[in-house]
Amino acid sequence: MAQDLDPLIRSAAFNFLAEQTRLHGETFERATLEKGFLFRGEQVRLVGPQGIFKPAILHDRALSLTTVAPKRGQPRPYDDGFQSDGTVIYKYRGTDPNHHNNRWVRNAMQASAPLIYFHATIPARYVASWPVHVISDDPGRLEFRLDVDSLAMGLPLADRVAEPDLTRRYGLVTTHQRLHQQTFRERVLRAYREHCAVCHLKHAELLDAAHIIPDADPDGEPRVSNGISLCKLHHAAFDRNLYGIQPDFRIIVPDHILAESDGPMLKHGLQEIHESMIVLPRNIDLQPDPEALTRRFEEFEQANR
């Protein structure tokens, strides 16, 4: 009976994650995942104390795999990661291939049962990828290999069938991009205590992690000191050089914007921030890099000549 319910439970879990993403965005609080969802009157959790998790309602197959967020300056406890071929390595629990956690993952692989992969961005916050399949088991290396091709579902079906290598590369790129963006966002917003550095807005759903040096630039590293927490208005305005931030953290609005007359949004959103100071992280190491601000402010001045 439990085996018969297995695909229904997994489908319900995927639907729950999709709905939560629609309502709250791509990042999940651990408390939400620990609470889980109701399935036929029974509470189904999505994560547990260990990285490999199987809720009680499932018989002998894992439902989710979870990574651990690294502490600053330290590597992750488990060396999980993306490979050049578009797959993900996930390490065993411990060194015993027959540990029950490892058997649960192996059973899911043998049954072709899809899993959920929770990637920690910061402690207790995760980005979820699903459905993910276990495609190989290597007891010698104490690791499983996960297929992330299913994440390339944005490609047309004909391309996924005719160009499997393209599909895999697309899956790798889009997955990396999602995790990079969400991890950077979470770390920057946490440093700024989930406030806009310009207007102090504190609704996280309306905040972005703006790059000082764009991430497409070779110097645009995903460091918190290369980011600023900005609301969507001030992020868009910053990217379009409607104001600049000096290396001393002072905001400068160009003369042509100060001279405009276009209602309260312009007045309060841009004109009144002129010569004010941005809010800074308490940790000096996480504050904006003055060299990055200098370079970015020079671009702002050039754009407004």
Please provide residue 168's backbone torsions phi and psi, each rounded to the nearest 5 degrees.
Answer: -65, -45
Nearest to 116 by CA among 7, 17, 4, 8: 17
* Tens-digit pLDDT profile for residues 205-256: 899 999 999 988 888 788 899 999 999 999 999 999 999 999 999 999 999 9
Label the pairing between strands 207-211 and 227-231.
antiparallel
Q: Which of 129-133, 175-179, 207-211 has the highest mean pLDDT?
A: 207-211
Label the pairing between strands 87-91 and 143-147.
antiparallel
Q: Examine the pLDDT at 69 and tell me if it is beyond 90.
A: no
How far is the C-alpha of 11 from the C-alpha of 59, rounded, in Å? 16
Q: Examine the pLDDT at 159 and tell me if it is beyond 90.
A: no
DSSP structure string for 216-246: TSTT----GGGEEEEEHHHHHHHHTTSSEE-
How far is the C-alpha of 238 from the C-alpha of 131, rounded, in Å? 37
Question: What pLDDT, on the 0 to 100 scale, is given for residue 189?
Answer: 94
